[in-house]
């Protein structure tokens, strides 16, 4: 197994699933990582058709609100993030993406993912399968942002109550499950 894929395998193996679906996704991701080293997107939008993504969920430590971006291609409110480059560590991807997409420093990022999902994407281009590692970035709601206007129509902070009161079809299909998984200290649950 390629060392960069082994590092991802280690991250995924340490995740403690919050529910049955995350357990299924974790088992499927581990099997996929054991079968192939071809896990990094090489050609947009879908080569290989299944590839790694790092989501970054900025969470306001004061009240637990989350920052979501209005993604042009997906037509959804999503966490910032992007595809993991070949041999890049997913936490490094997460830090890079918040710099590129939000113009903020990702040094406070929790270096282990809090959540894992496998999602068939939709959007303007061809669909594909994202194996997404969700990282938490503590970030104050008042932090100045510089959005990537090519990717996003806007960004806003969402309280958990606002997310719960909004049509779930406007978000990543797993956002509610992710929010439910966060514990009161908003720290990811991992195996040590």
User: What are the tens digits of pLDDT across the range 24-61?
Assistant: 999 999 999 999 999 999 888 888 999 999 999 999 99
* pLDDT tens-place string over residues 85-113: 999 999 999 999 999 999 999 989 999 99
User: Is 186 a member of any domain?
Assistant: no
Whether 76 maps to a domain, the answer reads yes
HSE toward the beta carbon, residue 31, CA cutoff 13 A: 7
**63 within domain boundaries:** yes
123: left (phi over 0), alpha (psi -120 to 50) or beta: left
- The residues with which 95 forms a beta bridge, in sequence order, are none
Does residue 110 belong to any structural domain of this protein?
yes
pLDDT at 192 exceeding the cut of 70? no
Q: Is residue 187 part of a domain?
A: no
**For residue 10, how far is the Cα from the chain centroid?**
17
Provide mean pLDDT across the span 155-170.
96
> What is the pTM for the complete model shown?
0.91
The residues near 119 (Cβ < 8 Å, ≥ 6 apart) are: 129, 130, 132, 172, 173, 174
- The predicted pLDDT at position 43 comes to 87
Closest CA to 66 of 133, 161, 157, 183: 157
Tally of domains within the chain? 1
Q: Residue 57: name the closest of 134, 158, 111 by CA.
A: 134
CATH number for the domain spanning 23: value is 3.90.79.10
Q: What is the pLDDT of residues 139-149, one digit of tens each?
A: 999 999 999 99
Q: Is residue 189 part of a domain?
A: no
Mean pLDDT of the chain: 91
Confidence of residue 183 (pLDDT cuts 50, 70, 90): low
Q: Does a structural domain hold residue 142?
A: yes
Residue 13 CA to its chain's centroid (Å): 17
Range of the domain at 15: 3-181
Q: Is residue 188 part of a domain?
A: no
């Amino acid at each position: 197994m390629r060392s960069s894929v082994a590092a991802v395998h280690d991250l995924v193996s340490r995740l403690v699933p919050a529910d049955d679906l995350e357990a299924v996704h974790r088992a499927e991701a581990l099997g996929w990582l054991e079968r192939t080293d071809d896990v990094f997107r090489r050609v947009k939008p879908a080569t290989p058709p299944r590839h790694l993504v790092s989501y970054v969920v900025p969470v306001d430590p004061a009240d637990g609100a989350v920052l979501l971006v209005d993604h042009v291609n997906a037509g959804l409110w999503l966490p910032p993030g992007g595809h993991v480059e070949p041999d890049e560590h997913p936490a490094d991807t997460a830090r890079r993406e918040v710099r590129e997409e939000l113009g903020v420093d990702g040094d406070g990022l929790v270096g282990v993912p809090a959540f894992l999902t496998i999602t068939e994407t939709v959007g303007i281009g061809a669909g594909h399968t994202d194996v997404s590692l969700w990282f938490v970035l503590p970030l104050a709601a008042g932090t100045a942002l510089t959005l990537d206007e090519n990717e996003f129509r806007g960004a806003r902070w969402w309280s958990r109550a606002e997310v719960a009161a909004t049509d779930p079809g406007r978000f990543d299909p797993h956002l509610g499950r992710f929010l439910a998984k966060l514990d009161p200290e908003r720290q990811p649950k991992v195996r040590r």
